[in-house]
Amino acid sequence: MGSGAVVRSTLSRDGPSGSRAEPWPSFMTPRENPHLIGQESAERAVLDALAGHRLHHAWLITGPEGVGKATLAFRFARRLFAGGAASLQMDPSHPVFRRVAAGSHADLLTVEREWDDKKKRLKKNISAESAREIPGFLHLTPAEGGWRVVIVDGAEDVNPQSANALLKVLEEPPARAVLILTSAAPGRLLPTIRSRCRHLALPPLSDADLMRTLALYLPDMKPAEREHLAALAEGSPGRALALAEQGGLQIAALVAEVLAGLPGFPVLRAYEMADKLRDESAFELFFSLLRGAIANALTANLRGAADAAQARLASVRGTAEWGALWSRLGDIQRETDQHNLDRRQAVVAGLSLLR
């Protein structure tokens, strides 16, 4: 594999575009993104390390999906290549920014899950073949006299063979080389990998920072719609932007209609909804939002902080029964995906359970 290669590229969750393990929409990928809002603490830790010449050879950036882990990783890499330590911000017209965004920087390798053209989705794991590129790449002399950088985006998806390749680099780190791992589920990484990395934890964004982010990327959207997206996204700008691109507000309205109609829900209306949710992304999003609304309502009710709609939902069934239904809805979603079952029938089955 040549220098500057991107091992896997995807369009959000649906097709080829550019480096993207986090759920960014098609108009933006983390390697192209010049902005990062709300993660100043993590950025300061990187800048302090650069300024103090205490640069660890391996970094683990963790946090929920869509909060900026991959974006921070590429900002870190660009600053290493360009030099300086005053800020991680870089003008998109800068030559280093342009080459990183294009995936053509000779000293950068990005390793991610590969795209499965047959199934039109990401593969479940980072392949051993992809991970085996890492040691050899990092041991090469930097092409531009500075640093070699590997970003493993979604490191929790490494298989055992890939994990061994990472461990080899972590145990015998090359000079002038930095390995950056991002992970939304660091508990799935080997303890020996986690222990050899400097850890940066990125939290969900505050309401104010999330609204600033959405105003930046969705300036033409009505403020009320951005507020609704923010409420659904739970502090994740990546999730909010993906929801905007995937018709999340419309699907959220269907979820609200279902829950407001309980305990009874017309069978005919269930079939009408199912017809609108045949597409894979719409189907997945519907079940995700439905289960999320149930979980949020039960949590808010237990804390005594439920709004009127959440309190009503909790009064329809007991907590244990709702918990069982939440689990069963997840089973339906997972089985439909794994066995390529009829999504229309799966939606009807799920709504029948709720009735």
| CATH class (in words) of the domain with range 246-354 | mainly alpha
Secondary structure tally for the chain: helices H, strands E: 16, 9
Identify the top-confidence range among 111-125, 212-226, 309-323.
212-226
Q: At 28, list the tokens.
A: 């933006």
In this prediction, residues 83-107 reach a mean pLDDT of 94
The answer on pLDDT for 279 being more than 80 is yes
Query: Cα Rg for the chain, rounded, in angstroms?
Result: 22
- State the pLDDT at residue 349: 96
- Please indicate whether residue 21 or residue 326 has the higher confidence score (pLDDT): 326
Task: Determine what percent of the chain is predicted with pLDDT higher than 70.
Answer: 92
One-letter amino acid of 22: E
DSSP secondary structure code for residue 155 in this structure: G
**Lowest mean pLDDT, pick from 120-124, 208-212, 250-254:** 120-124
Domain segments of the chain as ranges: 10-201, 246-354
Q: What homologous superfamily does CATH list for 10-201? A: P-loop containing nucleotide triphosphate hydrolases (3.40.50.300)
Give mean pLDDT, residues 124-131.
Answer: 85
Model confidence pLDDT, tens digit, residues 236-274: 999 999 999 999 999 999 999 999 999 888 999 999 999
* Identity at 293, one-letter amino acid code: A
pLDDT at position 125 is: 83
Question: For residue 243, what is the DSSP state?
Answer: H
Cα distances (Å, whole numbers) of residue 229 to 69, 210, 217: 20, 10, 13
